[in-house]
Amino acid sequence: MQPDAILMRCSACGATNRVPRGKLGLGRAPRCGRCKMPLPPIESEPVPVSDATFGELVERSALPVLLDAWAPWCAPCRQLAPIVDALAGELAGRVRVAKLDIDESPRTAARLGLQSIPTLLIFKDGREIDRVVGAQPKAEISRRLERVLR
């Protein structure tokens, strides 16, 4: 993929569209190449994921996904949250950043085999390809994401 292009999935027909970043900067609303409907806005903040939405938002995502498994009572999770938020803004259009509250979504947490939190999981084409357990520096998380984006 071109580094100056963003992949966006059309919510109307499901087609994946490659949109040049320059067109987004001009204030133009991109449209789907197949059905011509407006494309959804770019996610620059983490998207909440639940048992009900995991399949749609993670497994069927056109973009690679960084999934933050966390809980509100977990101090290291709260420490990692600003890093995850920053990555969501920096990688908008290249990576979907999502947050899974393990207390509210125990089925998905069990299905993923989560043993401890915080855990960051990296998905590509619906499959888990990397797992980072524990609070890590932003540079390490970015390095592991860049391997996926090549």
DSSP string, 115-150: -SSSEEEEEETTEEEEEEES---HHHHHHHHHHHH-
pLDDT at 46: 95
- Residue 114: Cβ within 10 Å count: 18
pLDDT tens, residue by residue, 41-71: 777 899 999 999 999 999 998 889 999 999 9
Q: Are 24 and 62 part of one and the same domain?
A: no
Report the alpha-carbon distance of residue 79 to residue 132 in Å, rounded: 15
DSSP state of 82: H
What are the tens digits of pLDDT across the range 67-84? 999 999 999 999 999 999
Residue in 13, 32, 35, 74 annotated catalytic: 74
User: Is the same domain home to 24 and 54?
Assistant: no
Do residues 97 and 126 both lie within one domain?
yes
Residues 69 and 5 reside in one and the same domain: no
Q: How many domains does the chain have?
A: 2
Q: What was the pLDDT predicted at 78? A: 96
- Among 10, 13, 32, 77, which one carries the catalytic annotation? 77
Q: Which two tokens stand for residue 125?
A: 């084409």
Do 77 and 114 sit in the same domain of this protein?
yes
Contact (Cβ atoms closer than 8 angstroms) between residue 113 and residue 131: no
**Residues 80 and 95 both lie in one domain:** yes
Contact 57, 124 (CB under 8 A): no
Instruction: Name the pLDDT band for 19 (thresholds 50, 70, 90).
Output: confident
Q: CATH number, domain at 136?
A: 3.40.30.10
35 included as an active-site residue: no
How far is Cα of residue 48 from the mean position of the Cα atoms in its chain?
Answer: 10
Q: What CATH number is given to the structural domain containing 2?
A: 2.30.30.380
**Domain, as residue range, for 21:** 1-41
The structure tokens listed for 108 are 């998905």
The answer to whether residues 36 and 87 belong to one domain is no
